[in-house]
Amino acid sequence: MKIALHGLSLKQEFLQDIKALFRALEKKSFEIHVTQPFDRLLRMQGNTGLTYQLIDSKNKMASMDFLISIGGDGTLLDSVCQVGALETPILGLNTGRLGFLATVTTDTIEEAVNHLSSGNFQIEERSLVSLDCDRKLFNGLNFGLNEFTIHKRDTSSMITVHTYVDGKYLNSYWADGLIVATPTGSTGYSLSCGGPLLSPKAKNLVITPVSPHNLNVRPIVVSDDSEICIEIEGRADKYLVSLDSRSTSVSPELRFKIKKETFSAKLVKLPNYDFFDTLRQKLHWGLDMRN
């Protein structure tokens, strides 16, 4: 089988883990390929002695059976962009911090590779959010695993975000911004702004205001079959929009349509993984912080 490796950063302290990953993959006769960003990181480490092939075209990425994302959740979000509509299954090796999405730890690398090799895993499909607007943004990568966000720039005054769901007026949010999150994104920025947690299998989107002026305004959960339209009003001449970790400034005359993408992200989940276990561990539920 062919396997792709992708990463956005590589600290010296994790180089031994990368070598252990290569050894485990070679032991199971995987054909190892790396993306161009990860190839640059490996070259910066000097003569690592690692043998691999370079993915330098979409056709080569299309031939991959799996992609291993090496880093934190941010790297896994970027891995979804690397794969796109190919829907190549992604396994997250966590060399980052929180790890809601990248769930494989460095001390279980060989075990994870064994599961991949034997087919002892499940594929969990995660819905993506798609953006449509009057101007081409994000180099055509108009989808995200976590959320679409619109936000005021710097210290400018709050903005008004006129929001419609399936053509029907929902609300004009006086706020610092607005988030439209997927179930996966419900554990990210939306959560920190008071949004609800959703199970990954939920068929919903969450609309969450960022620091709303009216305190009675609350997040709302809508069907992921909905089309959400957004118009911006404010004093500034530029605003920020983002899809996951990618952001750009836009002018207020642009109109945005957000809906569920036609394809999904496929995440590899190994035995004993459970979303609710991850929530309890990462959010420290049930722990008495006084002790």
Strands 220-223 and 228-233, how do they pair?
unpaired
Q: Which of 17, 39, 65, 73 is catalytic?
A: 73
280 token code pair: 């309890």
Q: What angle do CA 125, 70, 131 make, to 5 degrees?
A: 45
Long-range CB contact pairs, 219-227, < 8 A, 24+: 219/190, 219/193, 219/194, 219/195, 220/170, 221/196, 222/165, 224/127, 224/182, 224/259, 224/260, 225/260, 226/165, 226/166, 226/259, 227/165, 227/166, 227/167, 227/257, 227/258, 227/259
Distance in angstroms (rounded) separating the CA atoms of residues 191 and 174 = 19
- Main-chain dihedrals φ then ψ at residue 227, nearest 5 degrees: -110, 120
Distance in angstroms (rounded) separating the CA atoms of residues 70 and 4 = 10
73 is catalytic: yes
Distance in angstroms (rounded) separating the CA atoms of residues 262 and 242 = 19
Give me the count of residues in the chain.
291
Question: Mind telling me the catalytic residues?
Answer: 73
